[in-house]
Amino acid sequence: MTHSETLVLDGGAVADRIREGLAPRIARLKERGVVPCLATVLVGDDPASATYVRMKGNACKRLGIASIRVELPAATTTEELVAAIRGLNGDAAVHGILLQHPVPPHIDERAAFEAIAAQKDVDGVTTLGYARTAFGLADFPCCTPAAIMAILAHYELPVSGRHAVVIGRSPILGKPVSAMLLNADATVTTCHSRTADLPAIVRLADIVVAAVGKPKFVRGDWIKPGAVVLDAGYNPGNVGDVDYAACAAHASAITPVPAGVGPVTIATLLKHTVDAAEKFGA
Amino acid sequence: MTHSETLVLDGGAVADRIREGLAPRIARLKERGVVPCLATVLVGDDPASATYVRMKGNACKRLGIASIRVELPAATTTEELVAAIRGLNGDAAVHGILLQHPVPPHIDERAAFEAIAAQKDVDGVTTLGYARTAFGLADFPCCTPAAIMAILAHYELPVSGRHAVVIGRSPILGKPVSAMLLNADATVTTCHSRTADLPAIVRLADIVVAAVGKPKFVRGDWIKPGAVVLDAGYNPGNVGDVDYAACAAHASAITPVPAGVGPVTIATLLKHTVDAAEKFGA
């Protein structure tokens, strides 16, 4: 049953291509006196979240994008977080705002996301951003879904008419990636914790997107021979949502973890920040 | 292969139940001096659209809901239509606005839909309305999708964990009904004109929603024995998107056309208008 030649979808190569496209655009912006700037907002002291935020800041720095890191204590209230975001909305030097998910459970995350101005919502987390994604109108779709689409496009993997099965239905991953695949003319099935006989559904898929947040959740014998597998998971110990070795044995193409979807997500965030600076920057 | 007892899902009964719930609410509003009012906007002279608008107006009248009919010539520009809608937004006597779909092709329908104030978007056609539907937060989801969910609820047909296949991906039908079924914990597959082997996908479904706009498009041998079939189509000659007799032979439950989804859609529109009058009325 092993697929003869499994293509490893190298996120680093896709991210490099995106960054190469950005470098001259950033240079042109600077000639106009505009330095693209991403503000990240981190609430609490979850070490994984702190690592992601640091990676995003470092990625900005390497490309000549400015970044502002707002760090708020775990006891921050929804109102305080919303006020901090509104402050960034009003700061003309800031072009993009990223609120690191998840926030502590006492905070109303939806209210905090909604506080982000549409022009600065570079991670597509507002309801309006989601709707515009679903209707194919978004300036800034969510970065991880956009990264998955970028990987498919980079490797010229066909989507139209294919059956895509998305495992997960979160507002910033499962739902928007389902919408983007649908708009790219895939037949899309969205699965979740209440799905009956998930393995049977996944076995129908030409394209599998795993967005569950459970290590090695997707098993090798769920993968139809020749399917394309995209792993949006990132769990402790550098492990994705997909049992990589077992799934790679069946897949025609698969993203590794790390170095798959993750770096493309970050490059997409940078791209959206540059897009925002070009479109709305002073 | 014939299913032993096929339940005919009587939209009239569901609509009656909805209207019965509205009557005392309308009476209480009138005691406060508020007469719920729906404004319908019709552009051009498509006879089917004119019929729908007239049916909606008559349904209002029977229940003691006021209605305003705005009729614009086929040559109306997007700007003129948007201006007419803005006028209704500013009219405190109007609680709900329905722009009859479709508008003539030279009009930017999306721009016209977006012009409807969120508080009066009783058919859930704005992008924000869609997103709030997708996130389970909507005051007013689109009426036909909401009608489909109401029929399932009325007849206590289980949705959670079931596989629902939606045929169609329009912004006011296929997409929102997919979202609402997903939020009700169905596993949802959205199909469309580019879907490969549609019959095979539909055969997987426990719940089939037809929203294609093609008469008798869904054939009997596509229906898994015991599936529930909901026909949101309404084509010339009182014909749905489903080959009723052939599909009823396999289905455990099915909506007829007419007298299936249609009357529930209208009752839902009235309900949303009353909701809007209670929530936002003077």
Residue B135 lies in a domain: no
Do A197 and A242 have their domain in common? Answer: yes
Say which residue the tokens 């919408």 belong to: A179
Residue B270 lies in a domain: no
Smallest CA–CA separation between A210 and chain B, in Å?
15
Instruction: Report pLDDT for B113.
Output: 97
Helices (H) and strands (E) in chain A, counts: 10, 9
Instruction: Report pLDDT for B217.
Output: 98
In this structure, are residues B95 and B277 in contact, taking their beta carbons and an 8 Å threshold? yes
Do A113 and A154 have their domain in common? Answer: no
Instruction: Report pLDDT for A198.
Output: 98
Which residue of B110, B134, B201 is in closest CB contact with A187?
B201
Q: Of A145-149, B22-26, B132-136, which gets the smallest average pLDDT? A: B132-136
Helix axes A174-183, A143-154, angle to 10 degrees: 40
How many folded domains does chain A comprise? Answer: 2
Which residue of A179, A188, A194 is in closest CB contact with B185?
A194
Do A87 and A158 have their domain in common? Answer: no
Do A113 and A185 have their domain in common? Answer: no
Do B152 and B234 have their domain in common? Answer: yes
Residue A127 lies in a domain: no
Residues contacting residue B220 through CB under 8 Å, at least 6 positions apart = B243, B245, B246, B247, B249, B250
* B193 annotated as belonging to a binding site for a ligand: no
Strands B187-191 and A187-191: antiparallel
Question: Model confidence at A236, in pLDDT bands (50, 70, 90)?
Answer: confident
Contact B187 A190 (CB under 8 A): yes
Range of the domain at B101: 33-118
Residues contacting residue A32 through CB under 8 Å, at least 6 positions apart = none
Q: Which residues of A are annotated as a binding site for NADP(+)?
A: 168-170
Do A100 and A52 have their domain in common? Answer: yes
Rounded Cα distance, A11 and A154, in Å: 10
Give the distance, in angstroms, between the CA of residue B244 and the centroid of all CA atoms in the same chain. 20
Q: What is the pLDDT of residues B210-231, one digit of tens each?
A: 999 999 999 999 999 999 999 9
In this structure, are residues B103 and B43 in contact, taking their beta carbons and an 8 Å threshold? yes
Percent composition of chain B: helix, strand, coil (DSSP 3-state, to 5): 45, 15, 40
Do B75 and B177 have their domain in common? Answer: no
Rounded Cα distance, B34 and B217, in Å: 44
Contact A185 B162 (CB under 8 A): no
B51 close to A (CB below 8 A): no
Tell me which of A118, A151, A185 is where a domain ends.
A118
Contact B189 A187 (CB under 8 A): yes
Chain A CA closest to residue B189: A189
CATH code of the domain covering residue B184: 3.40.50.720
Smallest CA–CA separation between B60 and chain A, in Å?
30
Do B240 and B150 have their domain in common? Answer: yes
* B169 annotated as belonging to a binding site for a ligand: yes
CATH code of the domain covering residue B57: 3.40.50.10860
DSSP string, B202-258: HTT-SEEEE-S--TT-B-GGGSPTT-EEEE---BTTTB-SB-HHHHHTT-SEE--SS
Question: Model confidence at A282, in pLDDT bands (50, 70, 90)?
Answer: low
Instruction: Report pLDDT for A68.
Output: 97
Share of chain B above pLDDT 90, in %: 95
Which residue of B135, B160, B175 is in closest CB contact with A127?
B135
Question: Model confidence at A281, in pLDDT bands (50, 70, 90)?
Answer: confident
The DSSP code for A242 is B
Contact A128 B127 (CB under 8 A): yes
- Is B45's pLDDT higher than 70? yes
Instruction: Report pLDDT for B236.
Output: 87
Instruction: Report pLDDT for A3.
Output: 54
Instruction: Report pLDDT for B282.
Output: 66
Tokens of A35: 């330095």
Share of chain B above pLDDT 70, in %: 98
Overall average pLDDT of the B73-84 stretch: 98
Residue A40 lies in a domain: yes
Residue B13 lies in a domain: no
Do B98 and B177 have their domain in common? Answer: no
Question: Model confidence at A1, in pLDDT bands (50, 70, 90)?
Answer: very low
Average pLDDT, chain B: 96
Overall average pLDDT of the B128-151 stretch: 95
Overall average pLDDT of the A266-281 stretch: 96
Exposed/middle/buried for residue B259 (C-beta within 10 Å: 0-12, 13-18, 19+)? middle
* Residues of A designated as active site: 56, 100, 123
Q: What is the pLDDT of residues A38-72, one digit of tens each?
A: 999 999 999 989 999 999 999 999 999 999 999 99
Separation in Å, CA A5 to CA A2, A251, A278: 9, 9, 42
Partners of B182 on chain A (C-beta within 8 Å) are 169, 175, 190, 192
Residue B239 lies in a domain: yes
- Is B1's pLDDT higher than 90? no
Q: What is the pLDDT of residues A165-223, one digit of tens each?
A: 999 999 999 999 999 999 999 999 999 999 999 999 999 999 999 999 999 999 999 99
Do B153 and B247 have their domain in common? Answer: yes
Q: What is the pLDDT of residues B12-25, one digit of tens each?
A: 999 999 999 999 99
The total of other beta-carbon atoms located within 10 Å of residue A45's CB is 11
Higher pLDDT, A1 or A144: A144
Instruction: Report pLDDT for B96.
Output: 98
- Is A251's pLDDT higher than 80? yes
A201 close to B (CB below 8 A): yes
Residue A216 lies in a domain: yes
Do A91 and A188 have their domain in common? Answer: no
Residue A181 lies in a domain: yes
Tokens of B43: 């552009």
Do B147 and B232 have their domain in common? Answer: yes
Using alpha carbons, select from B127, B230, B224, B169 the residue that is nearest to residue A186. Answer: B169
